[in-house]
Structure 1
Amino acid sequence: MMKERMKVSLPPEVKKYIQSYMREHHLSFTGDAISRICQEHEEVQKKEDDSIKKIVKDVTQNIEDLLQRERLHIKKELLYMEQNIERSTRSSLKEVEDYSIAKRGELFASLLEGYEK
């Protein structure tokens, strides 16, 4: 890996953090510590991005599954409603037909009575 020399000005708390990091990880050069901190930061960012993508994917899948179940439920309910309407319509038509037959029968009976007189 090619290295490039830089002159950097840091706030005292950042300098203390880097020196502490160097002691903790047994590093001799400030540049190595900064490189390693940056590399670790990139890895953490990538893990967070991957984690967020996984969460979004899982939530999206759960929403799609829920919508699919709801569509099936609505489809079943519509089918039941259609069947009930059909049954009710047939029943109503039957009643109308029976009433019509009864009225025709009464009319025919009254005509016969009038004819017999």
Structure 2
Amino acid sequence: MIKERMKITLPPKVKNYIQAYMEKHHLRYTGDAISHICKEHEEAQKREEGSLEKVVEAVSQNIDDLLQRERRHMREELYSLEKNIQRSTLNSIQTVEDYGIRQRGELFASFLEEYKK
């Protein structure tokens, strides 16, 4: 790795942070401490992106599962509705046929009465 010398100006808080970091990690040079801090920052961003991708994947899977359950529920409801309509239609047709038979029966009975006279 090629190193490049830089002259930078830092606020006292940042300087104190870097010095504390150097003591904690037993580093001798400020540049090494800054490099380690930057490397840790990059790794943290990668972990955050990876965890964000996992969250997005989990949410997408949950939404997909929910949509499948809703489609299944709607299909069952439509099937039930179709059966109810079919049953109602058949009952109505039966009622109309019964009424027609009764009317024809009454008509036929009246013809028979006229015939008997």
The TM tier, using the shorter chain, reads over 0.9
TM-score of the pair, normalised by structure 1: 0.97
Structure 2 CA distance for aligned equivalents of residues 49 and 26 of structure 1? 30
| Matched residue, 1:105 | 105
Structure 1 CA distance for aligned equivalents of residues 59 and 91 of structure 2? 48
Compute the displacement of 1:88 (Å).
1.1
Structure 2 CA distance for aligned equivalents of residues 7 and 115 of structure 1? 128
Listed as ranges, the gaps of 5+ residues in structure 2 are none
Compute the displacement of 1:115 (Å).
2.0
Give the AA of the match of 1:91: N
What number of residue pairs does the alignment pair up? 117
Structure 2 CA distance for aligned equivalents of residues 79 and 2 of structure 1? 72
Compute the displacement of 1:84 (Å).
1.1
Percentage of matched positions with identical amino acids? 63
* Aligned pairs for 1:24-35 within 5 A: 24-35=24-35
Listed as ranges, the gaps of 5+ residues in structure 1 are none
Give the AA of the match of 1:43: E
Q: Deviations over 1:48-76 (max 9, x none)?
A: 11101101100110110011011001101
TM-score of the pair, normalised by structure 2: 0.97
CA-atom RMSD in angstroms: 0.7
Compute the displacement of 1:114 (Å).
1.3
